[in-house]
Homo-oligomer: A and B are copies of this chain.
Amino acid sequence: MGNDRVSKGRVTIREVAERAGVSTATASRALSGNHPVPPATRARVLRAARDLDYVANAHARALVGGGRKMAAVVVRQVTSPFYAQVAEGVEAEAADRGWLCVVGATGGDAQREMEFVQLMREEGARLVILVGGVVEDDAYRERVAHYAHALDSSGARLVLCGRPAPDPEIPALVVEFDNEAGARAITAHLLSAGHRGIVFLGGLPGNTALDARVTGYRAALAEHGLPPEAAHVVDCGLGRAAGHRAMTELLKSTGEFTAVFAGDDMVAAGALRAIADSGLRVPGDISVVGYNDIPLAEDFNPPLTTVRTPAEELGRAAVRIALRDPEHAAGAHHLLGTHIVVRDSVGAPPPGRAL
Contact = CB atoms under 8 A, between A and B. Distances in A.
A78 B81 contact: no
A124 B299 contact: no
Question: How big is chain A's contact interface, by range?
Answer: 35 or more
A355 interface: no
Given A59-B68, A59-B124, A273-B299, A150 B78 contact: no
Contacts of A92: 105
Nearest to A294: B296
B68 A79 contact: no
B81 A88 contact: no
Interface string A258-301: 00000000000110110010000000000000000001100111
Nearest to A123: B58
Contact of A154 (B55, B240, B312): B55
12 contacts: A5-B153, A53-B150, A55-B118, A58-B122, A59-B68, A59-B123, A77-B88, A78-B87, A88-B105, A91-B104, A270-B299, A276-B301
Contacts of A102: 100-103
Interface string A306-334: 00000010000000000000000000000
Contact of A95 (B66, B88, B101, B105): B105
Contacts of A122: 55-58
A119 interface: yes
A197 to B, nearest CB: 25
Contacts of A301: 276, 300-301
Contacts of A345: none
Interface in A95-121: 95, 100-105, 112, 118-119, 121
Interface in A10-62: 10, 53, 55-60, 62
